[in-house]
Amino acid sequence: MDYPAEYFKAIEYIRSKVDQMLTLIGTLPLRPEELDDTTLIDLDPIGIVTESFGQVLAHLSDTNQQLDMAKREIRAIFDSMDAAVVVLNDDGSIDDCNRQAREWLFHNRDYADLIDQPLAAVCVCSDDVQSRMAAGQLDECEFEFDGRHLQVVASDIHDAQNNQVKKVFICFDITRQKNIESSLQLYAKVFANTADGIAITSSKARFLEVNDAFCRITGYSAEELLGNTPRLLESGRHDAEFFAAIQRSLDQCGHWQGEILDRAKDGRIIPLLQAVSAVRDAQGAISHYITIVTDITSLKETQTRLDFLAHHDPLTELPNRLLFTARLEHAIERAARDHDIFGLLFIDLDRFKTINDSLGHQFGDRLLIAVATRLRSLVRRADTIARLGGDEFVVLLERLHIPGEATTLANKIVQAMRQPFLLHDTELHIGCSIGITLYPEDGGDAVTLLKNADAAMYRVKDSGRDGYRKFSPDLSEAADEKLTLENALRLAVRNNGLTLHYQPIIDLQQQRIIAVEALARWPHAERGTVPPDQFIPLAEETKLILPLGEWVAGEAITQFTRWRTQGIAPDYISINASGMQLFHPGFADTLFELLREHQLEGRHLQVELTENVLMRDINSCRHVLDRLRDHGIRIAIDDFGTGYSSLAYLKQLPIDVLKIDRSFVRDIPGDANDCAIAEAIIGMAQNLGMDTVAEGVETTEQEHFLTHIGCSKVQGYYYAKPLTATDFATFHRRFSG
Ligand code: C2E
Ligand code: MG
Ligand code: MG
């Protein structure tokens, strides 16, 4: 008899499903023997035919029941699987699928809607996957669908004739596994590439893992570290309590963070910022420690540098005033306690300002560095040398055995500073003035000791510089006196308390007074007439030179016009101006205004400036001088030869006259050297198209020599001292008459 077609179909269907389940998942509760027992699987249809029909039918119905049962069982298992299963016919249409497949792949569409539909039509995913679906090539692949990472295992179903009739796809959700994998990869990357050193140690503090940065920072290779303990890195800079505190913190709160000094493999001490965290297992016991270290060497260096800069002079790297005062105060405390004495030297360089002004600040800076070096070589290491600013240095001499040690050192320094400094092939002669105080005799506190040393130093300056002097109480009066003098000068400038004296400038060839120089005087009630050498520097220091200079110009021009109306008419009047005036914005305009007021042409006025002023800032200088020259005002260089003028430099400025300094005139014609200098200056001036005036001519011999070498314009006591306005008028009449 013929068996119904469904019979074979059912057998084949179940058989294939069971096979698939068993081979692919391996977890089905059915065993092949159970199916064997139904005698269906190995049943030979031909054998059955020979049985009686009734038997066969009964058998069949029995078998069908069992088949139904097995089908339901399988369906239940099928739908409860944690994998999406899709059975495809060989034309690519869906033959069957489980609940999970509907949820994961088909957006929970009804089962009925899916069956017989082409898979590619109902599962909308990436083109790539879709084309593989269509081609039935999804075997052993992974793809992402709807945020799920799926792994597909495929296998073929064969019919009894071993023809492939269907394909089963089973998709497992491996999203979680993938996520863990990728975060692990990320952790590994971070671990390997971070700039911070990371070490994982066991609960027994043995290195289990270290990253590259940890090796780089410590200088050890991973092989050298692994298995070792962090003791390998101990610097010996921390005591047992330090490490005990770390351990306590780890035990109590599972964490420690702080700065630590470790020792690198090459012996170098490395400052580290370190964070240690304890990792606990499920039972709460510490399983690992994770240590993260940041190398803060450069941070520390910057900090040290900043600290240094705050307390040192950046140029000479000597302690600055701040640090010096601290050390001085400390020395006072110590000496007071130990009934000890110490000394303080206040050093001020001589002629530094001249060099700085004429040769430039860069030169000045180099000179200061050289001075600092020389000073360092003279004092004991225990003594402090500091630069208080400008060209002021101080030395603190602690633990003096005898007070005389301070003066001995001062003498040594003075001698040493007399030796020339060689900078850029230029020999510079400076020298210094030193004031000395001793604790406790010259002061009990830092301020007094410094102030009195400064006063002693000033006394050295006043008496010709280049020396040292120990403070004595009368010197502090001198300092007070300076203050009194300053106040008196202020009053004198304000209240018209100054006068001018006038010295003629004579042209020997023309035998006439060609000009007159105005020189300031300060008649003082108690001191008599104070000479300008004493009050001009003070006026410059206090900026009083600005109103003072303005007054001089006004007074000189007024006097000059007054003389002219009296028929006393030299060609021009010459006034002296200091640098502060020249660089003051209103300088030229004030002069123009005065000339206009007195209806005087510019050629009747000459301004005398010293070399150093001119060397200070060529551009600003030229700007002002060009304006003066445009107005016809004459420009003279005063005291020529005493500065460090460069000729090329002077050539750029509109200069009419060089006034040869008195110091070169004094010893001619006796001193061959001075004669040569005077002659050279005159020759040079002629070359540059400038006129010359010799200052300080006191003898006939000087006059003869000067005329002989081509300088016929002279000024000096030989002809006339600076005179009052009235005396000048008399002198002029007599000379001309
Ligand atoms: P200076 O401009 O070189 O003036 C010449 C100085 O030499 C004057 O000194 C004058 O009295 C002195 N002298 C002139 N002939 C002889 C001589 O034959 N033998 C000697 N031994 N000395 C002579 P004084 O008046 O004491 O002035 C000194 C300096 O003070 C001036 O030098 C000038 O640089 C400055 N000065 C004077 N008045 C003023 C002023 O109004 N403003 C500014 N900024 N400086 C002034
Ligand atoms: Mg002068
Ligand atoms: Mg002069």
- Residue 616 identity: R
Q: Are residues 226 and 338 in the same domain?
A: no
pLDDT of residue 36: 43
Q: Are the C-beta atoms of 594 and 553 separated by less than 8 Å?
A: yes
The Cβ of residue 570 has, within 10 Å, a number of other Cβ atoms equal to 22
* Ligand 1 neighbour 500 (Cβ under 6 A): no
Q: Is 638 in the pocket of ligand 1 (CB under 6 A)?
A: yes
**Averaged over 190-203, what is the pLDDT?**
88
Residue 187 resides in a domain? no
Beta bridge partners of 658: 637, 692
Residue where a domain terminates, one of 419, 442, 471:
471
Instruction: Provide mean pLDDT across the span 107-136.
Output: 78
Query: Using an 8 Å Cβ cutoff, are 125 and 138 in contact?
Result: no
Is residue 700 pLDDT above 90, yes or no?
yes
Q: Which atom of ligand 1 is nearest to the CA of 519?
A: 38
Q: Is 506 touching ligand 1 by the criterion CB < 6 Å?
A: no
Whether 544 is in the pocket of ligand 1, judged by its Cβ within 6 Å, is no
More confident: 440 or 42: 440
Confidence of residue 136 (pLDDT cuts 50, 70, 90): low
Helix axes 545-565, 473-494, angle to 10 degrees: 50
The answer to whether residues 436 and 509 belong to one domain is: no
CATH number of the domain to which 134 belongs? 3.30.450.20
φ, ψ (nearest 5 deg) of residue 53: -60, -45
Q: Is the pLDDT score of 39 beyond 70? A: no
- Report the C-alpha gap between 254 and 276 in whole angstroms: 8
What pLDDT shows up at residue 192? 84
**Cβ 561 vs Cβ 598: under 8 Å:** yes
Spatial distance between the Cα atoms of 737 and 201, rounded to a whole number of angstroms: 112
Spatial contact of 387 and 393, defined as CB atoms under 8 Å apart = yes
The pLDDT value recorded for residue 392 is 95
CA of 418 to the centre of ligand 1 (A): 28
CA distance linking residue 358 with residue 642, whole number of Å: 11
483: confidence class by pLDDT, cuts 50, 70, 90: confident
Q: What average pLDDT does range 178-192 have in this prediction?
A: 86
Dihedral sign of CA atoms 421, 423, 426, 428 in order:
negative
Question: pLDDT-based confidence at 644, cuts 50/70/90?
Answer: low
For residue 26, pLDDT over 90 is answered with: no
- Ligand 3 centroid distance, CA of 199 (Å): 79
Distance CA 520, CA 579 (A): 16
- Nearest residue to 229 (alpha-carbon basis) of 270, 258, 200: 200
Ligand 1 contacts CB of residue 536 (under 6 A): yes
| Residue 587 located in a structural domain | yes
**CA of 539, nearest ligand number:** 1
Residues 292 and 341 in one domain: no
Greatest mean pLDDT among 63-72, 149-158, 320-329: 320-329
CA-to-CA distance for 309 and 606, rounded, in angstroms? 48
Whether the predicted pLDDT of 3 surpasses 70: no
Tokens of 364: 């000045």
Whole-angstrom distance, CA of residue 435 vs CA of residue 406:
10
Q: How many CB atoms lie within 10 A of CB 54?
A: 8
Identify whether the C-beta of residue 567 lies closer than 8 Å to the C-beta of residue 560: no
Q: Is residue 184 part of a domain?
A: no
User: Per the omega criterion (within 30 degrees of 0), is the bond before 403 cis?
Assistant: no
Residues 375, 454 within the same domain: yes
Q: What is the mean pLDDT of residues 476-482?
A: 72
Last residue of a domain, which of 274, 299, 324?
299
In a domain, 331, yes or no: yes
Length of the chain: 737
Query: Which residues in 432-482 belong to E strands, given as ranges?
Result: 432-439, 467-470
Residues 63-86 as b/e (b if ≥16 CB within 10 A, e otherwise) read beebbeebeeebeebbeebebbbb
The verdict on 32 and 138 lying in the same domain is no
> What is the pTM for the complete model shown?
0.50
For residues 440 and 344, membership in a common domain is answered with: yes
Pair 545, 612 in one domain: yes
Nearest to 543 by CA among 490, 613, 478: 490
Do both 411 and 534 map to the same domain?
A: no
The pLDDT of residue 45 is 44
Domain count, the chain: 5
Residue type, 267: G
Provide the CATH number for the domain around residue 344: 3.30.70.270
**Centre of ligand 1 from the C-alpha of residue 166, in Å:** 124
Is any ligand 1 atom within 6 A of the Cβ of residue 579? no
Closest-lying ligand to the alpha carbon of 607? Answer: 2
- CA–centroid distance, 576 to ligand 2, in Å, is 5
CA 613 to centroid of ligand 3, rounded, Å: 14
Question: Is residue 612 lining ligand 1, measured as CB closer than 6 Å?
Answer: no
Low-confidence winner among 39-48, 172-181, 415-424 (lowest mean pLDDT): 39-48
Minimum mean pLDDT among 386-395, 456-465, 619-628, 724-733: which range? 456-465
> Using an 8 Å Cβ cutoff, are 546 and 537 in contact?
no
Q: List, in sequence order, every residue forming a beta bridge with 543; answer none if it has no partner.
A: none
Who's near 233: CB < 8 A, 6+ residues apart? 218, 262, 263, 264
Q: Is the CB of 497 under 6 A from ligand 1?
A: no
- What pLDDT band is residue 307 in, cutting at 50, 70 and 90? confident
pLDDT of residue 2: 47
Ligand 1 pocket, residue 578 CB under 6 Å = yes
Q: Please indicate whether residue 603 or residue 648 has the higher confidence score (pLDDT).
A: 603
Question: What integer is the mean pLDDT of 137-152?
Answer: 80
Q: Among 499, 519, 662, 697, which residue has the most ligand 1 atoms within 8 Å of its CB, making it the best to mutate?
A: 519
Q: Identify which has the larger pLDDT, 57 or 125.
A: 125
What pLDDT does residue 105 have? 87
Nearest atom within ligand 1 for CA of residue 666? 19
Confidence band (pLDDT; 50, 70, 90) for 135? low
- Is 70 or 288 the better-scoring residue by pLDDT? 288
Q: How many CB atoms lie within 10 A of CB 382?
A: 9
Quick one: pLDDT at residue 617?
77
Nearest alpha carbon, ligand 1 atom 41? 520
Domain that holds residue 51: 5-67
Identify the weakest region by mean pLDDT among 15-24, 129-138, 421-430: 15-24
Could you tell me the distance, in angstroms and rounded to a whole number, from the CA of residue 665 to the centre of ligand 2?
Answer: 15
User: In terms of DSSP bridges, do strands 691-694 and 269-280 run parallel, antiparallel, or are they unpaired?
Assistant: unpaired
Nearest CA to ligand 1 atom 13: 696
Q: Does any domain span residue 549? A: yes
Q: Could you say which ligand is closest to the alpha carbon of residue 715?
A: 1
Residue 438 and residue 532 in one domain = no
Which pLDDT score, from 0 to 100, does residue 588 have?
A: 95
Q: Mutate which of 548, 552, 576, 613 to test ligand 1's pocket (most atoms within 8 Å of Cβ)?
A: 576
Residue 1 scores a pLDDT above 50: no
Residues 666 and 540 in one domain: yes
Per-residue confidence (pLDDT) for residue 320, from 0 to 100: 92
3-state helix, strand, coil in the chain (%, to 5): 50, 25, 30
Is 486 a member of any domain?
A: no
Whether 505 and 616 map to the same domain: the answer is yes
**Ligand 2 center from residue 678 Cα (angstroms):** 18
Same domain, yes or no, for 271 and 322? no
Domain end residue (candidates: 137, 154, 178): 178
- Name the residue type at position 290: I
How confident is the model at residue 652, as a pLDDT? 83
CA of 263 to the centre of ligand 1 (A): 71
User: Sorting pLDDT into bands at 50, 70 and 90, what band is 445?
Assistant: very high
Cα-trace Rg, the chain: 54
Q: Residue 133 — very low, low, confident or very high, per pLDDT cuts 50/70/90?
A: low
Question: Over the stretch 527-550, which tens digit does the pLDDT of each residue have?
Answer: 888 899 989 988 988 889 999 999
Quick check: is 447 in a domain? yes
Res 300: pLDDT:
82
Predicted local distance difference test score (pLDDT) of residue 299: 82
Query: Which atom from ligand 1 is nearest to the alpha carbon of 659?
Result: 3
Q: Which uninterrupted H or E stretch holds 185?
A: helix 175-193
Residue 29 banded pLDDT, cuts 50, 70, 90 = very low
What's CA 137's distance to the chain center, in Å?
65
Q: Is residue 304 part of a domain?
A: no
In sequence order, the 6+-apart residues with CB closer than 8 A to the CB of 515 are 504, 505, 570, 571, 572, 573, 574, 606
Distance 683 CA to ligand 3 centre (A): 19
| Tokens of residue 554, six digits | 């006004």
Question: Does the Cβ of 577 fall within 6 Å of ligand 1?
Answer: yes
Model confidence pLDDT, tens digit, residues 208-262: 999 999 999 999 999 999 999 999 999 999 999 999 999 999 988 899 988 999 9
pLDDT at residue 642, rounded to an integer: 76
